[in-house]
Amino acid sequence: MEKNTGFTLIELLVVIAIIGILASVVLASLNSARLKSRDARRLSDMKQIRLALELYFSDNTAYPGNTDNDCGGWDAGFNGGQESGDPFIAQLETAGAISDTPGDPIATANCGGYAYYRYVPGAYGCDAGRGSYFVLGVRDMETSAGVYPESPGWSCPSRNWQSEFDWVTGNFER
């Protein structure tokens, strides 16, 4: 008597189902890693831009003014910065404080991604004696719903930028 040595249809369907479940778990983990990776890049970019702002200040005794103005007066850096034709804080590159100002890895709208604004002394009730100040922020961090845990925050008596950005910082000129 000859015995069949193949797989039954049920066995094949069970194996396919197991492979499908494993693939979906791997893809979900991969997507989570991508989100964390982009957020890590955003934080790294903010540190790099902040350092470039301080280098610029060291050479010019003032932070750069707003030049891009593509978001209600804010300079916005999105979708790779200059590569997308967006001169986000272009003065940093012109002054040699940074070689290429970065932009948010996935934001594509003018008001998405990174934002920079230099305010005049006393704006929003901040101490005019401390001079002008800048605000630098990131919208839409992907691994937090709202304020990013590592955000230093920035506020004046009549405005809190932390409510507008997921991650934000700033500094006075004096």
Residue 108 has pLDDT above 90, yes or no: no
106: DSSP letter: S
Single-letter code of the amino acid located at 54: E
Strands 114-119 and 75-77: antiparallel
Count of Cβ atoms closer than 10 Å to residue 78 Cβ: 24
Cα–Cα distance for residue pair 105/138, rounded to 1 Å: 11
The token pair that represents 146 in the structure block: 């709202």
Among the residue ranges 82-86, 90-94, 108-112, the one predicted with the least confidence is: 82-86
Residue 6 has pLDDT above 60, yes or no: yes
Cα–Cα distance for residue pair 29/33, rounded to 1 Å: 6
Instruction: Tell me the domain boundaries of the chain.
Output: 9-172
Edge to edge, what strands does the sheet with 75-77 contain? 75-77, 114-119, 133-138, 167-172
For Cα atoms 81, 120, 149, give the angle at the middle one, nearest 5 degrees.
55
Residue 69 has pLDDT above 80, yes or no: no
Please tell me the pTM assigned to this model. 0.82
71: DSSP letter: B
